[in-house]
Copies of this chain bind each other. A is one copy, B any other.
Amino acid sequence: MKTAEHLHACGVKPSYTRMRIYEYLHNHHDHPTVEHIYGALKDSLPTLSKTTVYNTLKLFLEKHLVRELIMQNQAHYDIVTDFHAHFQCNNCHTIYDIPMQREHVVNGNVEAHHIEDVQLTYRGICRSCQQTTQVE
């Protein structure tokens, strides 16, 4: 589906800026931060303001177009796809997607409450860093 149509279908007016931000997220699944997105787009959108990136992501979040993932005091964003967990390496800070079914982590113990979001994150040393780096 075209970006404009998809935004429209989710209740977001598809301005040029919003489409560019959405498309950046669509093409980059490495959990970018506001800084990443702003840095990547500011050359081709010279008037872009960081506040606009914040505002747009907040809007996308409300409309459930993106998912927010807060790791070490910084928000990372990902377009909404299947539920999955995340592993972040304490050494290289890469965030890996980890397959996980939502049903698997939502059980009777929590269903007394109304769940709007589930976040499962692991931290540690990733496979790659274990093999190539000495971490003391």
Contacts and interface: CB of A to CB of B under 8 A. Distances in A.
A2 interface: no
Interface string A100-128: 10001111011011111111111111110
A90 interface: yes
Given A122-B115, A125-B114, A125-B116, A98 B109 contact: yes
Contacts of A113: 87, 89, 96, 122, 124-127, 130
Count chain B CB atoms within 10 A of each CB in A72, A85, A110, A119 and give the residue with the most.
Answer: A110
A122 B110 contact: yes
Nearest to A100: B109
Given A70-B73, A73-B70, A73-B73, A110 B87 contact: yes
A46 interface: no
A107 B120 CA distance: 12
Nearest to A123: B117
B110 A98 contact: yes
A123 B115 contact: yes
A110 B116 CA distance: 24
7 contacts: A85-B110, A87-B115, A113-B127, A117-B122, A117-B123, A118-B123, A119-B119
Interface of A: 70, 72-73, 85, 87, 89-90, 96, 98-100, 104-107, 109-110, 112-127, 130
